[in-house]
Amino acid sequence: MPALLGDIERLVCCESPSADLAAVARGAEVVAEVGAALLGAQPERIVLAGRTHLLWQFGGPGGVLVLGHHDTVWPVGSLATHPFAVRDGKLFGPGCFDMKAGLAMALRAVAALPDRTGVTILVTGDEEIGAPSSRELILEQARGCAAVLVAEPAAGVALKIARKGVSQYRVQVRGRAAHAGLEPQNGVNATIELAHQIRAIAELGDAAAGTTVTPTVMSAGTTENTVPAEAVCAVDVRAFEPAEQDRIDSAMHALRPVLDGAVVEVHGGPNRPPLSSVASRALFGRAQRLAEDLGIGPLTGVEVGGGSDGNLTAGIGIPTLDGLGACGDGAHADHEHVLVDELPTRTALFHALVAELRGKDLR
């Protein structure tokens, strides 16, 4: 436990927000140092679009892919307000739960194998922003494997046996500027047009199907006394079924302006397919059996709305099990934390899964 906590502290204390390429590079080097010390081998450093990804491959492709990421949503400087700490059975720090602790667990789970042949570890640096540079790398590694184990955090203490697919959009409105006091009637108000669009967009969700359509970040206008000529809004879509992703995509791209003279443009689309329970069922059954053998059962699984790189591997038909990392709560939030007592048992489960799956063909 002290050694594992030490590894987690090293990872947490090297801040690595996705948007900061220098910080992502520094974070990758710390992961490489921790991993090399445990595995006795340096990773291949793969830099794509300025982002550093790490690959350890033992015995060539095939077997099991252990998948994780070292980037976080926390900006550099977050340690000043959210310092690394262990108290009252909980471990705190920016990115500890999502997913620095899971990385340390996965590296130790593989390091404990007497024979690592057939194991590949891929740690990416852009998961939190949708894997724009690592997507093809992930798919390339997954296509040669029989199973993918994702070191993302658990849902509390439950594994993630299904995830919604993710779609991302940017709705851009162009109007016409005018003086807000002298001649507002000569303008086309982009803010009002965007308000019409947001109302229509928000009605696309389907609670019964579990489909959510959420307008998020919005901006409009330039000065307080000018009719806004431009406005923009980001839209986050989550759905359990590909058909729902397609329905929303068609509706988003069919949006038309309400105000005369306004122009509406919609950019984006599906980013990650759903991770269905079918893709995880057999692996989850193995994990449940192994948990019972280890005396840490019963093991539960839940469906969640958040996406991960596991969605990508499941989307091409590779058996994928997610949520094998740390137990805890508060991903991306002020109360983000890891349950310390669960660290050794979940690392043992991760190890047992890799050991059983290594070299097998499950497809």
pTM, two decimals, is 0.90
Active site residues: 71, 127
What CA–CA distance (Å, rounded) separates 155 from 23?
27
CA dist 273 → 185, 199, 244, 279, 332 (Å) = 45, 26, 11, 12, 22
Print pLDDT tens along the chain (363 aa).
999 999 999 999 999 999 999 999 999 999 999 999 999 999 999 999 999 999 999 986 668 999 999 999 999 999 999 999 999 999 999 999 999 999 999 999 999 999 999 999 999 999 999 999 999 999 999 998 999 999 999 999 999 999 999 999 999 999 999 999 999 999 999 999 999 999 999 999 999 999 999 999 999 999 999 999 999 999 999 999 999 999 999 999 999 999 999 999 999 999 999 999 999 999 999 999 999 999 998 999 999 998 899 999 999 999 999 999 999 999 999 999 999 999 999 999 999 999 999 865 544
Alpha helices in the chain (DSSP H): 2-12, 21-39, 78-81, 101-111, 135-143, 190-202, 242-253, 277-294, 310-315, 343-357
3-state secondary structure 205-224: CEHHHCEEEEEEEEEECCCC
What CA–CA distance (Å, rounded) separates 275 from 240?
8
Both structure tokens of 308: 């991960």
**Closest alpha carbon to 189 in 221, 215, 217, 216:** 221
Architecture of the 2-163+274-357 domain: 3-Layer(aba) Sandwich (3.40)
In the block, residue with structure tokens 């203490």: 157
What CA–CA distance (Å, rounded) separates 107 from 159?
19
Question: Residue 315: CB partners within 8 Å, gap ≥ 6?
Answer: 272, 273, 274, 275
Chain region(s) in the chain for CATH 3.40.630.10: 2-163+274-357
What CA–CA distance (Å, rounded) separates 311 from 275?
5
Q: What are the φ and ψ backbone dihedral angles of 142, each rounded to 5 degrees?
A: -70, -35
Question: Residue 199: CB partners within 8 Å, gap ≥ 6?
Answer: none
**CB contact at 8 A, 194 and 231:** yes
Q: CA torsion sign, 281 to 282 to 283 to 287?
A: positive
**Closest alpha carbon to 263 in 200, 193, 179:** 193
What CA–CA distance (Å, rounded) separates 363 from 359?
12
Chain region(s) in the chain for CATH 3.30.70.360: 165-272
Question: Residue 309: CB partners within 8 Å, gap ≥ 6?
Answer: 67, 69, 124, 127, 131, 134, 138, 150, 272
Fold classification of 165-272 (topology level): Alpha-Beta Plaits (3.30.70)
